[in-house]
């Protein structure tokens, strides 16, 4: 890891006319040094190998400038995304050799699974915006993967890794071959990588209580607020069991002997408190995280090829192909009766006698009743997410014949096809058919469906399981066509040197198609929110120019301008002005200003009404605000929140005992072709000190300040924000009025349960962050070997979020919360190295600062604990066995550091910030022929 700077020796070497010109990320102008006015971090091939990861995303997310983006979960595709500065994966641009990589979703994000590690020589990261040079999306910066060049011979690389628990194996193998002749070169790499899944049950000690759900395998009767059982009958029944009274609106579960139990308080509960069930805070719950995958299973096959041919000394043609077949398997546990609750008629033959007694005591004894459960008799719902991604590029590059001007012109075609299969989907219509059948469904499938009690549920026949469940198939496809041409060289000479320039023109067209399964579109799939077909296309034409102007021998100014004409957003401009000053041979000062843009992507423009979920966690620290167990209701001494809950639809008869049954609800978002591009102002100022101490010590220090301010942020109204603001958790609705704009986004069902939050896309708020990046690179050569220290440190001074127009900004820096992005103020990655002859050792230390709980931002009296600082150490060794065989191996999480508990809730952590795998190892070998 090192900043992109020029050493004193490099500066001397610049005097040689034979020194090859290079292009530093952040500019399209080739030059004879690696000096850059923008902060650039370079991650080398050895660092990538030393992490032991099977994809480059995991490697890059070790760096403190990146925020980890979850790649697993319920049908999320296992994408490997990069997120610079925590501003979102849509706001950084991912390139391969300076060209855009194929997008993997309608949101325009790049799945770095398309990149085999075998072809990556190094990675250059420019932080702080680069839209004027590269176009839309480069708001927080650019990540440019640089491929191998001039490969000759055959290189074979193999690697195996696993956890010390032997439950998280990974495999990676590649073959790279190349040949170079007088006029041509050919480079081909094929690779295969697999990462096994990590299941919650494999980390039972930590996750045994993770996300306790009220949807349980025994099933529960959900009383209707407008048709409750008679309280006297309920009292008499539980007195007969030997217990006191329970409220008549409590969910009542079914013991295997036909008796009832109160889920709240676990009154008369006869089940066991083992593996699948827990008494959590006195209530019967079924923890979710031990049911499914914590990390997805992934299988990936990559092909990369490039062919160059010199047609003449002035013109070279090239062709490049990238092909990836990537499948991720995700699993989120048992299906539950959510997003379409089944009802059971009172004529169902399986209803136990005690439940019949209660049903008969209702005001309307013949009305069907609602039933909540987790379908534990069917296998857990899982998804196969298969991506086939292709990119083909053909181009010409060479000399124009005018002065020293060179050109590069190419056309590219990308295609990403995503086939999603949900296995073991439970169909509401089929379940309802069995419930409504006079014989309980026995005439439809053997035994029918008896949902009352765990033993009855688990005895469901294979025929009935097959009847109510099956697979769904959905497809989305993205296609991009692009034309680019770049000319660069010198314009004229000034006393201090040549004025260098580049000019470019490009055109891009993106097309998107999504076709969901019919059952999914009709909301017939339990626990998965409906999605509708959608399609759209958008194009952009751009012109850009860039100049480097030498003012003196030691000072230069850079400027760039880009005009982009979008089909729907119209014409927008991006520009920059920066400077680079070599104050001495050892000290360089750099800084600049950039105006960056991000145009709305296809999803934001065209998506049909698309369902998702908003998770608000468990009471008391989380939960649906009207739930009587929440801190909000406990603090409602005036009764104003209670009154709002009634006005929003919770029956007054049940509001004082209202319990929300789970930790999430549905959201519905849709596209908006009236959106305008986001605009960002980025400022950087820094310095680099590059020096030597004697003949055996080198030191490079860099410090850079950054500030990024984004206006007209495109976002769906955050579901959790709408819920909190409607219920005045942050003071947004002080009159507790149902006319509040956020309350208008919420819908409750007839029993008062929060069933939907509408989250439309608009140009809403603002994002602003500022901080400092530091890099240290030190090397000492002695007779005993070479010692080195490489450190990258990021300090976030502020991360201010203005969610909606008129809102006060909230500074999230230094906070973390359940299901929210962590914002540590300080993160660091430091490597201590030792190298002697054929052997090297590296101790890598990753530090994450302590954080307060996010709830403290809106409630200064919050008692929810934060997290302490976190330190993780890895040890890596390398040995050159022969000139053609190199061995490597390492131990990750050397001291087996446990993940930290988030929000003070057992079983809850941030799976991306803290190591949930535990101590693990890898071994690998590279062989050259």
Among 264-278, 669-683, 793-807, 831-845, which stretch is predicted with the lowest mean pLDDT?
264-278
Q: Give the pLDDT confidence score for residue 35 in this predicted structure.
A: 66
In a domain, residue 883? The reply is no
Residue 29 dihedral angles phi and psi, to the nearest 5°: -100, 125
**Cβ neighbours around 350 below 10 Å, total:** 18
Mean pLDDT over residues 44-50, rounded? Answer: 77
In a domain, residue 925? The reply is no
Burial of 272 (0-12, 13-18, 19+ CB in 10 A): exposed
CA atoms within 13 A on the CB side of 759: 25
Q: Does 238 share its domain with 133? A: no
In a domain, residue 60? The reply is yes
pLDDT digits over 717-762, tens only? Answer: 788 888 998 999 988 899 999 999 889 999 998 889 998 898 888 8
Burial of 554 (0-12, 13-18, 19+ CB in 10 A): middle
Contacts of 171 (CB under 8 A, 6+ apart): 54, 159, 160, 192, 193, 194
**Percent of the chain whose pLDDT exceeds 70:** 95
Instruction: Give me 903's structure tokens.
Output: 């929000």
Q: Does 659 share its domain with 729? A: yes
22 dihedral zone (left: phi>0; alpha: psi -120 to 50; beta): beta
Q: Does 42 share its domain with 107? A: yes
Instruction: Give me 102's structure tokens.
Output: 């194929």
Instruction: Give me 95's structure tokens.
Output: 């390139």
Contacts of 139 (CB under 8 A, 6+ apart): 87, 91, 92, 129, 131, 596, 597, 598, 678, 680, 682, 708, 710
Query: What beta strand segments (E) does 427-528 contain?
Result: 469-494, 497-515
3-state SS string over 243-312?
CCCCCCCCCEEECCCCCEEECCCCECCCCCCCCCCEEECCEEEEECCCCCEEECEEEEEEEEEEEEEEEE
Q: Give the pLDDT confidence score for residue 71 in this predicted structure.
A: 44
Q: Does 491 share its domain with 581? A: yes
* Res. 546: pLDDT tops 90: yes
Among 221, 224, 281, which Cα is nearest to 253's?
A: 221
Between CA 320 and CA 429 the distance in angstroms is 50
Among 113, 74, 58, 120, which Cα is nearest to 663's?
A: 74
179 dihedral zone (left: phi>0; alpha: psi -120 to 50; beta): beta
Among 159, 49, 24, 146, which Cα is nearest to 844's?
A: 49
**Cβ neighbours around 242 below 10 Å, total:** 8
Among 152-161, 187-196, 748-757, 915-924, which stretch is predicted with the lowest mean pLDDT?
748-757
Q: Does 245 share its domain with 110? A: no
In a domain, residue 182? The reply is yes
Q: Does 566 share its domain with 445? A: no
In a domain, residue 907? The reply is no
Between CA 633 and CA 647 the distance in angstroms is 15
Strand order in the sheet with 141-147: 2-3, 40-44, 120-127, 141-147, 92-96, 99-100
Among 764, 711, 710, 768, which Cα is nearest to 742's?
A: 764
Among 363-377, 540-554, 739-753, which stretch is predicted with the lowest mean pLDDT?
739-753
Among 469, 520, 222, which Cα is nearest to 335's?
A: 469
* Res. 72: pLDDT tops 60: no
Q: Give the pLDDT confidence score for residue 116 in this predicted structure.
A: 83
Mean pLDDT over residues 827-834, rounded? Answer: 95
- Check which CATH number belongs to the domain holding 117 and give it: 2.40.170.20
Mean pLDDT over residues 234-238, rounded? Answer: 96
Q: Give the pLDDT confidence score for residue 5 in this predicted structure.
A: 44
Report the relative pairing of strands 382-399 and 754-758 from DSSP bridges. Answer: unpaired
Q: Does 708 share its domain with 786? A: yes
Q: Does 360 share its domain with 393? A: no
Can you give the pTM of this predicted structure?
A: 0.87
Between CA 463 and CA 328 the distance in angstroms is 29
Q: Does 221 share its domain with 279? A: yes
In a domain, residue 924? The reply is no
Helical H runs in 51-208?
Answer: 56-60, 131-134, 204-207
Q: Give the pLDDT confidence score for residue 509 in this predicted structure.
A: 95
Residues 56-81 as b or e (16 or more Cβ within 10 Å = b) = bbbbbbbbbbbbbbbbbbbbebbbbb
Mean pLDDT over residues 613-624, rounded? Answer: 82
Between CA 201 and CA 207 the distance in angstroms is 8
* Res. 11: pLDDT tops 70: no
Query: What beta strand segments (E) does 764-883 contain?
Result: 766-782, 785-802, 810-811, 815-816, 826-836, 839-848, 852-853, 870-880
DSSP per position, 192-233: EEEE--EEGGGGHHHHTTSSEES--TT-EEE-BTTBPPPHHH
Residue that finishes a domain, picked among 775, 790, 811? 811
Contacts of 683 (CB under 8 A, 6+ apart): 128, 591, 592, 593, 705, 706, 707
* Number of domains comprising the chain: 3
CB of 355 closer than 8 Å to CB of 333: no
- Omega before residue 620 within 30° of 0, cis: yes
Among 328, 263, 331, 329, which Cα is nearest to 291's?
A: 331
pLDDT digits over 636-689, tens only? Answer: 999 999 999 999 999 998 899 888 877 788 888 888 888 999 999 999 999 999
Burial of 462 (0-12, 13-18, 19+ CB in 10 A): exposed
Between CA 225 and CA 750 the distance in angstroms is 8
Q: Does 545 share its domain with 683? A: yes
Report the relative pairing of strands 297-312 and 252-254 from DSSP bridges. Answer: unpaired
Q: Give the pLDDT confidence score for residue 492 in this predicted structure.
A: 93
Among 785, 890, 782, which Cα is nearest to 837's?
A: 785
Helical H runs in 426-526?
Answer: 428-436, 454-458, 462-468, 518-521
Q: Does 668 share its domain with 783? A: no
Q: Give the pLDDT confidence score for residue 782 in this predicted structure.
A: 94
* Res. 202: pLDDT tops 70: yes
Q: Does 643 share its domain with 612? A: yes
Contacts of 30 (CB under 8 A, 6+ apart): 21, 22, 23, 406, 488
Q: Give the pLDDT confidence score for residue 13 in this predicted structure.
A: 36
CB of 371 closer than 8 Å to CB of 432: no
Contacts of 182 (CB under 8 A, 6+ apart): none
Which residue, chain included where needed, has tokens 């509040």? 740
Residue that finishes a domain, picked among 696, 729, 758? 758
State the angle between helix axes of 353-360 and 231-240 in degrees (0 to 180), rounded to the nearest 10: 160
Between CA 633 and CA 283 the distance in angstroms is 19
Query: What is the band of 716 on the pLDDT scale with cuts at 50, 70, 90?
Result: confident
Kindly list the distances between the CA atom of residue 425 and the CA atoms of 269, 290, 336, 527, in Å, as whole numbers in the listed order.
30, 19, 10, 9
Q: What does the mean pLDDT of the chain come to? A: 90
Query: What is the band of 57 on the pLDDT scale with cuts at 50, 70, 90?
Result: confident
Strand order in the sheet with 754-758: 610-615, 664-669, 754-758, 746-748
In a domain, residue 846? The reply is no
> Which residue segment(s) compose the domain that 322 sits in?
2-169+178-197+297-329+385-420+483-600+678-713+765-811
CB of 582 closer than 8 Å to CB of 554: yes
Among 419, 385, 387, 528, which Cα is nearest to 469's?
A: 528
Residue 823 is classified by DSSP as B
Kindly list the distances between the CA atom of residue 335 and the CA atoms of 74, 185, 378, 380, in Å, as whole numbers in the listed order.
11, 54, 8, 6
* Res. 6: pLDDT tops 80: no
In a domain, residue 892? The reply is no
Between CA 760 and CA 857 the distance in angstroms is 25
**Percent of the chain whose pLDDT exceeds 90:** 66
Q: Give the pLDDT confidence score for residue 31 in this predicted structure.
A: 60
Residue 855 dihedral angles phi and psi, to the nearest 5°: -65, -20
């Amino acid at each position: 890891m090192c900043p992109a700077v020029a050493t004193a020796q490099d500066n001397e070497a610049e005097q040689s006319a034979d020194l090859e010109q290079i292009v530093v990320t952040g500019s399209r102008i080739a030059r004879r040094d690696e000096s850059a006015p923008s902060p650039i971090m370079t991650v080398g091939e050895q660092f990538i190998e030393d992490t032991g990861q099977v994809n480059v995303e995991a490697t890059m997310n070790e760096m403190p400038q990146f925020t980890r983006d979850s790649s697993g979960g319920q049908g999320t595709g296992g994408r490997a995304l990069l997120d610079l500065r925590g501003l979102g994966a849509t706001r950084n641009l991912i390139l391969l050799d300076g060209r855009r990589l194929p997008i993997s979703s309608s949101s325009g994000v790049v799945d770095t699974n398309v990149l085999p590690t075998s072809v990556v020589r190094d990675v250059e990261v420019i932080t702080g915006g680069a839209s004027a040079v590269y176009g839309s999306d480069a708001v927080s910066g650019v990540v440019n993967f640089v491929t191998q060049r001039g490969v000759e011979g055959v290189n074979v690389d193999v690697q195996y890794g696993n956890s010390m628990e032997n439950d998280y194996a990974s495999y990676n193998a590649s073959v790279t071959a190349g040949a170079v002749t007088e006029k041509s070169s050919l480079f081909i790499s094929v690779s295969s990588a697999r990462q096994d899944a990590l299941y919650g049950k494999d980390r039972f000690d930590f996750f045994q209580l993770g996300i306790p759900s009220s949807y349980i395998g025994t099933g529960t009767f959900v009383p209707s607020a407008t048709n409750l059982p008679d309280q006297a009958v309920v009292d008499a029944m539980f007195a007969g069991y030997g217990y006191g009274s329970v409220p008549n609106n409590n969910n009542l579960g079914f013991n295997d002997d036909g008796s009832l139990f109160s889920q709240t308080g676990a009154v008369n509960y006869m089940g066991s408190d083992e593996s699948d069930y827990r008494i959590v805070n006195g209530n019967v719950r079924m923890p979710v995280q031990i049911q499914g995958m914590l990390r997805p299973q992934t299988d990936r096959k990559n092909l990369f090829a490039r062919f160059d041919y010199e047609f003449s000394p002035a013109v070279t043609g090239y062709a490049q192909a990238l092909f990836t077949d990537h499948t991720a398997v995700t699993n989120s546990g048992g299906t539950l009766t959510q997003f379409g609750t089944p009802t059971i008629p009172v004529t169902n033959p399986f209803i136990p006698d005690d439940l019949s007694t209660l049903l008969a005591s209702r005001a309307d004894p013949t009305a069907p009743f609602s039933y909540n459960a987790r379908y534990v008799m069917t296998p857990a719902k899982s998804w196969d997410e298969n991506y086939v991604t292709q990119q083909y590029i053909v181009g010409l590059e060479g000399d124009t014949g005018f002065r020293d001007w060179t050109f590069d012109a190419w056309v590219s075609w990308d295609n990403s096809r995503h086939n999603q299969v949900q296995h073991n989907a439970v169909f509401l219509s089929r379940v309802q058919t069995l419930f409504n059948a006079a014989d309980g469904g026995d005439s439809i499938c053997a035994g029918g469906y008896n949902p009352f009690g765990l033993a009855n549920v688990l005895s469901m026949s294979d025929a009935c399981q097959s009847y109510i469940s099956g697979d769904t198939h959905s497809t989305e496809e993205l296609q991009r066509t692009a034309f680019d041409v770049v000319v660069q060289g010198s314009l004229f000479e000034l006393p201090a040197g040549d004025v260098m320039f580049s000019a470019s023109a490009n055109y891009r067209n993106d097309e998107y198609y999504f076709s969901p399964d019919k059952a999914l579109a009709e909301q017939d799939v339990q626990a998965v929110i409906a999605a509708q077909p959608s399609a759209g296309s958008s194009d952009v034409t751009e012109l850009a120019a860039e100049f480097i102007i030498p003012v003196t021998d030691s000072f230069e100014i850079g400027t760039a301008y880009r005009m982009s004409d979008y089909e729907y957003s119209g014409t927008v401009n991006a520009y920059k002005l920066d400077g680079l000053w070599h104050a001495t041979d050892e000290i360089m000062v750099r800084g600049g200003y950039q105006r960056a843009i991000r145009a709305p992507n296809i999803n934001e423009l065209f998506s049909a009404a698309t369902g998702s979920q908003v998770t608000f966690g468990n009471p008391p620290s989380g939960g649906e605000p009207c739930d009587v167990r929440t801190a909000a209701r406990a603090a409602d001494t005036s009764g104003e929140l209670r009154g709002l809950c009634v006005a929003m639809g919770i029956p007054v008869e049940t509001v004082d005992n209202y319990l929300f049954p789970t930790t999430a609800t549905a959201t519905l978002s849709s596209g908006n072709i009236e959106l305008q591009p986001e605009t960002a102002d980025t400022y950087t100022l820094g310095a680099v000190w590059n020096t030597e101490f004697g003949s055996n010590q080198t030191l490079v220090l860099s410090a850079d300040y950054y500030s990024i301010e984004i206006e007209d942020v495109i976002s769906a109204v955050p579901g959790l924000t709408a819920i909190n603001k409607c219920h005045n958790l942050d003071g947004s609705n002080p009159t507790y009025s149902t006319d509040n704009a956020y309350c208008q986004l919420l819908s409750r069902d007839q029993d008062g349960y929060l069933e939907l939050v509408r989250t439309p896309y608009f140009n809403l708020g603002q994002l602003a962050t500022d901080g400092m990046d530091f890099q240290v690179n030190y090397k000492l050569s002695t007779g005993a070997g070479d010692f080195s220290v490489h450190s990258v440190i990021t300090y976030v001074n502020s991360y201010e979020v203005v969610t909606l127009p008129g809102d006060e900004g909230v500074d999230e820096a230094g906070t973390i919360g359940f299901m929210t992005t962590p914002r540590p103020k300080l993160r660091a990655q430091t490597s201590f190295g030792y190298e002697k002859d054929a052997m090297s050792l590296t101790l890598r230390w990753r530090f994450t600062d302590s954080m307060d709980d996010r709830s403290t931002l809106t409630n200064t009296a919050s008692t929810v604990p934060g997290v302490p600082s976190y330190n993780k150490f890895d040890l890596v060794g390398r040995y050159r066995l022969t000139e053609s065989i190199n061995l490597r191996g390492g131990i990750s999480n050397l001291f087996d550091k446990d993940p930290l508990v988030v929000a003070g809730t057992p079983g809850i952590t941030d799976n991306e910030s803290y190591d949930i795998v535990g101590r693990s190892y890898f071994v690998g070998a590279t062989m050259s022929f």
